[in-house]
Structure 1
């Protein structure tokens, strides 16, 4: 189990991250892009993953990590149960979500090209 305060500390530990309101939730953003959200009365958080990363994390245990049940889920938005997830897994999830928005598309593509060389 991961406490909500621990989640907040982890999310805010990434460079350039800001906490801002997003409708009734708190959002965690870098470069004005959301990588995680949390509703104040819930133990469930939502992170933005690529479709590939989402499938990998969800394969671990679909009772802990699972896609949002609508079109947002098909775009990589993924729910995580803080009552069940281990801290190390949450750190991996947040790092992946943060990097997915913090690193621009051109840099990611350049990294892919470099790996192929």
Structure 2
């Protein structure tokens, strides 16, 4: 099972990333750009900000992956239950989200 420490290390392993407070979560972003993921310790979940097409693909990979149940989910925000999802899938999703933020102008 992926722990908070392991998830944080993984999210921070991408160049130029930093952790920041985000409501009741820990946010991970590229410095001077937007967040690509958040982590919630209370239930050991991460919301990873994918594109809607990527979200569709990842949601088929594991029962512990599903759209966030609000407008953010419609835009690609995807919940990963870290106790149910293999580390390799989490890593791939983080890389996709990170790369998407790198491409953006903000």
Q: TM > 0.5 between the two?
A: yes
Q: Is the 8 A contact 2:21 2:27 kept in 1?
A: yes
Residue 80 (str. 1) matches residue 93 (str. 2): no
Rounded to whole Å, the distance in 2 between the matches of 1:26 and 1:11 is: 11
Q: How many residues align?
A: 104
* Distance in 2 separating the partners of 1:91 and 1:104: 20
**1:1-60 CA distances to partner (integer Å, 9 max, x unpaired)?**
212211100000001101001112110001330100012322111000001100010111
Structure 1: gaps of 5 or more residues: 106-117
Q: CA RMSD in A?
A: 1.2
Please tell me whether Structure 1 or Structure 2 has the larger radius of gyration of its CA atoms: 1
Which ranges of structure 2 fall in alignment gaps of 5 or more residues? none
Q: In structure 1, what is the Cα distance between the partners aligned to 2:64 and 2:77?
A: 14
Deviation >6 Å, runs of 4+: none
- Aligned residues of 2:59 and 2:66 also touching (Cα < 8 A): yes
**CA distance in structure 2 between the partners assigned to 1:60 and 1:39 by the alignment:** 21
Q: Hey, what's the Cα distance between the residues in 2 that align with 1:5 and 1:42?
A: 14
Q: How does 1:87-102 map to 2 (within 5 A)?
A: 87-102=87-102
TM-score for the superposition, normalised by structure 2 = 0.92
1:47-82, Cα deviation, whole Å (9 max, x unpaired): 000011000101112x21100011110000000000
Larger helix proportion, structure 1 or 2?
Answer: 1
